[in-house]
Amino acid sequence: MGIKKVKNIVWGLCLAAIASFTFTGCSKKNDPAPEEKKVAVKFTVTATSAGVIDETDITIQAAAANGDASQYGAPVWKINGVTQNNEDNIFLKGNQFNGSTKTYVLETVKPFGMATIGVECTNRGTTPITLTFNTQVDGKVQTNVENLKVMPGEGYDKQFTYTAN
């Protein structure tokens, strides 16, 4: 056998080996996607003022979502223990704090991939508004703000995002 013929046979064997690894090394089935980590979120907020809190003075927004579509068409939040309809966003307005209820507890019905809490207070009144809020993620306190005074003509705006670690 000549050297040229041996080289051709070696190259042919190498190409055949590469082709067999290429076509048989990976199966057509995809590996299962890793399971999304999820968290349960509980947010407690209290707002008080010596005066009347206007509807536009305070906006509390809570939202939760998953990486899949499992939250759609199902309850997401409870407010003070009452399951809300299929709403993934919850809003509280300032005038809701004027009655006998000064504290609201927003909590997810089941664990979610992430949750966001927005706290906005623009005091248009003549007396200070005092905010106290706390967020627990899987039972552990993540955010704790006590007796934050928003003076007349001032504002406070903060967004918090919570995900599984």
On the question of pLDDT at 43 being above 90, the answer is yes
Cα 77 to Cα 66: distance, rounded to the nearest angstrom: 14
Cα 13 to Cα 121: distance, rounded to the nearest angstrom: 74
**Whether the Cβ atoms of residue 105 and residue 79 lie closer than 8 Å to each other:** yes
On the question of pLDDT at 110 being above 80, the answer is yes
**Whether the Cβ atoms of residue 70 and residue 35 lie closer than 8 Å to each other:** no
CATH number for the domain harbouring residue 114: 2.60.60
Per-residue pLDDT band for 66 (boundaries 50, 70, 90) equals: confident
The predicted structure's pLDDT at residue 70: 74
The predicted structure's pLDDT at residue 48: 96
- Residues paired with 112 in a beta bridge: 39
Total number of domains in the chain: 1
**Do the domain assignments include residue 16?**
no
**Do the domain assignments include residue 60?**
yes
Give the N- to C-terminal CA distance of the chain in Å, as an integer: 65
**Do the domain assignments include residue 128?**
yes
Range of the domain at 98: 41-163
